[in-house]
Chain A
């Protein structure tokens, strides 16, 4: 049990489908992240939420749409994806101190392996 739970573990979808990835953290953290891990590329930060507010969007295409209804849950809504979007999508959480640059190490979930056909 990592404290960060992602579902589903595996997902195969066609380019016209709509699906959502879910992430839940049980650590009481106040920041949540989506990362994309593709083969032979460094981890790419996609989105950051602090206290449920999106604070970073790393030029991610609009076919990826994040949602953070509360500080424990994070979703990534997917629609009209491309085959190059196939990757491992990792959710993470951390504890940030407001008004400071302090941030605890990130805790990661086991990821969702996404295949776009």
Chain B
């Protein structure tokens, strides 16, 4: 069965410093993985997706994620945080039933 685990429920960074949001996955085959972002009172927006092509995936707003099979990880990073990055981030994997399986989310706070 497929699953994802987001290792931090809350991450706080200062504006201009790097962001690291951690996600580990479990899958019996090569997974399709995604990161979504949700700003307050909004729906979920796709940040980036990994579908077995390049292991380093670039997304919108300067975010990127690296698929590491040996570590079963798909961590989300950004070199320099902006105030507008404050939101909740979800790591997601396609399930074998064709459904999306969401992590519990990581709330990112950005301090001025």
Contact = CB atoms under 8 A, between A and B. Distances in A.
Q: How large is the interface on B (under 10, 10 to 19, 20 to 34, 35 or more residues)?
A: 10 to 19
Contacts of B97: 56
B7 interface: no
Given A108-B43, A109-B43, A42 B34 contact: no
A114 to B, nearest CB: 13
Interface of A: 2, 4, 6, 41-43, 45, 48, 56, 90, 92, 96, 101, 103, 105-111, 113
Contacts of A43: 90, 100, 102
B49, B100, B104: most-surrounded residue (chain A CB, <10 A): B100
A110 B103 contact: no
B105 A42 contact: yes
A26 B46 CA distance: 17
Q: Is the interface of A mostly helix, strand, loop or mixed?
A: strand
Q: Which 3 A-B pairs have the closest CB atoms?
A: A108-B43, A108-B44, A110-B43
A14 B103 CA distance: 32
B31 to A, nearest CB: 12
Contact of B100 (A41, A45, A109): A45
Interface of B: 34, 36, 41-46, 49, 90, 94, 97-100, 102-105
Contacts of B98: 96, 101, 103
B45 A48 contact: no
Contact of A105 (B34, B43, B103): B34
A42, A48, A101, A103: most-surrounded residue (chain B CB, <10 A): A42
29 contacts: A4-B43, A6-B43, A41-B104, A42-B103, A42-B105, A43-B90, A43-B100, A43-B102, A45-B99, A45-B100, A48-B99, A56-B99, A92-B43, A92-B44, A101-B98, A103-B94, A105-B34, A105-B49, A106-B44, A106-B46, A106-B100, A108-B36, A108-B43, A108-B44, A108-B45, A109-B43, A110-B41, A110-B43, A111-B41
